Amino acid sequence: MIKSSGNVFADLGFEQAEAENLLVRSKLMAAIKAYIESEGITQEEAAERFHVAQPRISEIYQGKIDLFSVDKLINMLARVGQHVEITIHKAA
């Protein structure tokens, strides 16, 4: 059995800094999807709330992480009243 580092991207061989960035973006994208699902809204309605075009919401659902910056994802969440909190600690 292989022990996980706790970051799937690091486990896949990404350089540490990139792995951390990918992990943060994936969590933000998951939060956006969770918001949409908890609100029971369509992608079109979500696009209006997040102030983006509907294809951007589709790209989040498709996991196109490379198309989104941390800033963009945080801004989207803030537009719907979501608070993003960051915790920083020394890497293991």
Higher pLDDT, 25 or 7: 25
Sign of CA dihedral 56, 57, 61, 63: positive
Q: What is d(CA 19, CA 37) in angstroms, rounded to the nearest whole number?
A: 27
pLDDT digits (tens, 9 = 90+) for 49-76: 999 999 999 999 999 999 999 999 999 9
Question: Which CATH number does the domain housing residue 39 bear?
Answer: 1.10.260.40
Residue 4 banded pLDDT, cuts 50, 70, 90? confident
Q: Is residue 84 part of a domain?
A: no
Q: Which of 37, 21, 31 is nearest to 70 (CA)?
A: 21
When pLDDT is averaged across residues 42-55 and rounded to a whole number, the result is: 98
Residue 20 banded pLDDT, cuts 50, 70, 90? very high
C-alpha gyration radius of the chain: 15
Q: Give the structural domain span for 41.
A: 8-79
Q: Is residue 91 part of a domain?
A: no
Q: Is residue 3 part of a domain?
A: no
Q: Which of 45, 40, 41, 35 is nearest to 77 (CA)?
A: 35
Say how many domains are in the chain: 1
